[in-house]
Chains A and B, each alone.
Chain A
């Protein structure tokens, strides 16, 4: 393919075109943004536990965000909640998760030298970087950053008079998300084309590791859904900056009747959630793909039901396009439409359940090696069970009436995204760190990190279901305005305690990560004794991945503990023995 060019510092580390370096760029940026988003949540959790009181953490905020008594301003509470959601959904769980692992794993697992276009790949990171700069700068502008929730419904997000963050901050949010989407699309193009064209000899789609399948389908989801957010945002931009009435009508603001007529905020919601729902599967599927891999390797058993797993990924992806209305049950939509969305939403439970059962069957009669990655993979399965089940309540339109936009929803989506997907990301980092950096991460610190995070995370998000069933709405600055919520302060304090503790224990991970890059013990080529192709490359990462010829694939990726074989793993490059059955 492209022949090796001489690498300078700039072409190797800055405008890198090697997929492995780009992956690390995404990882580091994603981790940095995770810290920013986590810090924001620590701050607003403190407000929720001690409403209206001063906290030392507020010193981190720009001036003007707290009042004379030192309490956080209510509209800036909403700014924090908005930015937290935006950063975690897009920057960390989309770019940080897909960007890292798709870039790193796809060429390696399919036996390719690099992505189809290193140049486009490089662009995809730098658009992401620019988006990051723009978003972070919006924190410091007058009026503050966008404050209408990460879902930015107009008219709130369209009118600066409605909330200060809807001024410059919101404009920058739109600019930032445009850059982000372009970067994400450029990445997806590469992932799809590379998997379709650059698989090495013998790597049929049926032998593709599940991680690749998940990343492939995720990329397709992205290509089909992100552009709609772009069109949605474009119309919002026109309403905000040019005074059109796509989403706005019949509004009085600050005593003045505004000129907008004929528009509908519900149109925004439809367009937004048309991306919004596939987006959560763009977040989830790669994590589930990683988990399938980590579980198989560390169980020393094939993943149970490979075909069904692929089928489940495809079915989930397909269904994800026809469920968006379940975010809009309470908008006054035609009840029949609501019924349709309930039906399709509850259907998605079926492939999701199949995946859980397949993982359980993989663990059954396994010989489990508890690497930190494996701990997180099992954590993902637990969180997916917990969070997925509450989805059955929320997806049922009649039940949604009383839990929509309450803490019940907040609990649900944090458990499926904040636990499931993040654990999947951790599992991926721990598992592929030796390949990324040639060193091993410290396993004891990994164990401590998992168990403390596991405890704290469930401590934060499980209680939220009760807050929701008690009727407490989300995005509330405090629960102290309504006597009916007075008793809930105790629960809020418990949640904040676990949230702050959980935030602090992440130091263990950051430390382990950074320390191991420099001082970790040197890794062997295949420390986990895994079958997939990435472990056949030399530990000193080279441009072009394999020093000689590309590997040739002879079997599927899951021959672990296969009867009749010498070792409990058989790499994909090993030819079938005489009389051996192919899968």
Chain B
């Protein structure tokens, strides 16, 4: 990847943007951490779907590591990138299923019978998913471009930015998952 000032700048723009997103989640998770010990907190087990979605997003992230290698060999990366996109969609699907499972357990966002513990879970996972949709849009764009073989090892800024962001979403999800599961 060409080490131009322009590319560096674009990557830094993304990094700082991600720092802002981290602060957004820091606000939400601080609220969660402060609220929990105050009592009136319904305990429940995390839906299994979330364990599945965690695995899915980790795999999708790992797949992205192979992209650079294939680009160097001049092989097509369409298959890889498209797989990541599919996994991303699958992740979203499993998040929805997770929420469905929660509702079946009687854990609601709001209304009669709801509790802060449930509300926080919904808000945190929803916020993450919304940011993930941004990542999906980027992935769609990158998938199309890789289909028509627009990327080379020297010219793949969009691919790099999307990868960085996607890894970020995966790490963010892992952290949220551990917070919700073990704290």
Contacts and interface: CB of A to CB of B under 8 A. Distances in A.
A–B direct touch in complex (beta carbons closer than 8 A): yes
Interface of A: 1, 116-117, 120, 185, 188-190, 192-194, 196-198, 223-228, 230-232, 234-235, 238, 242-246, 259, 261-264, 267, 270-271, 274
A244 B119 CA distance: 7
Interface string B1-21: 000011011101100110111
A34 B19 CA distance: 31
B27 A231 contact: yes
B31 A117 contact: no
12 contacts: A116-B9, A116-B13, A192-B12, A225-B23, A227-B21, A228-B24, A231-B28, A235-B123, A243-B110, A246-B31, A262-B35, A262-B39
Interface of B: 5-6, 8-10, 12-13, 16-17, 19-28, 30-31, 34-35, 38-41, 109-112, 114-116, 119, 123, 127
A294 to B, nearest CB: 29
Query: Top 9 A-B pairs ranked by shortest CB distance?
Result: A231-B27, A227-B24, A228-B27, A227-B23, A262-B40, A116-B9, A243-B110, A244-B119, A193-B12
Contacts of B20: 185, 189, 223-224, 226-227
A226 B41 CA distance: 29
A221 to B, nearest CB: 11
Contacts of B34: 267, 270
Given A231-B24, A231-B31, A242-B110, A197 B119 contact: no
A189 B27 contact: no
B12 A223 contact: no
Contacts, number: 110
B24 to A, nearest CB: 4
Contacts of A232: 27
A224 B26 CA distance: 10
B110 to A, nearest CB: 4
Contacts of B38: 262, 264
A262 B36 CA distance: 10
Contacts of B30: 270-271
A196 B12 contact: yes
Contacts of B114: 244-245
Contacts of B119: 238, 244-246
Contact of B123 (A228, A238, A274): A238
A244 B109 contact: yes
**Residue with the highest number of chain A CB atoms closer than 10 Å, among B21, B31, B40, B123:** B31
A117 B17 contact: no
B109 to A, nearest CB: 7
Contacts of A262: 35, 38-41, 115-116
Nearest to B11: A193
A196 B39 CA distance: 46
A139 B81 CA distance: 48
Contact of A120 (B6, B13, B25): B13
Given A223-B19, A223-B20, A264-B38, A116 B10 contact: yes
B110 A238 contact: yes
A426 B112 CA distance: 54
A227 B27 contact: yes
A1 B111 CA distance: 55
A223 B16 contact: yes
Contacts of B24: 227-228, 230-231
A267 B31 contact: yes
B27 A197 contact: no
B108 to A, nearest CB: 10
Nearest to B112: A259
A235 B119 CA distance: 10
Given A223-B23, A227-B20, A270-B30, 18 more contacts: A189-B16, A189-B17, A192-B12, A193-B16, A197-B8, A197-B9, A223-B19, A228-B23, A230-B27, A242-B109, A243-B110, A243-B111, A244-B110, A244-B119, A245-B116, A246-B31, A262-B35, A262-B39
Nearest to B40: A262
Nearest to A115: B9
Contacts of A228: 23-24, 26-27
A154 to B, nearest CB: 13
Contact of B5 (A198, A231, A238): A198
Contacts of B12: 116, 192-193, 196-197
Contacts of B127: 234
Nearest to B111: A243
B13 A267 contact: no
B67 to A, nearest CB: 24
Contacts of B112: 259
A234 B124 CA distance: 11
Contact of A234 (B19, B28, B115): B28
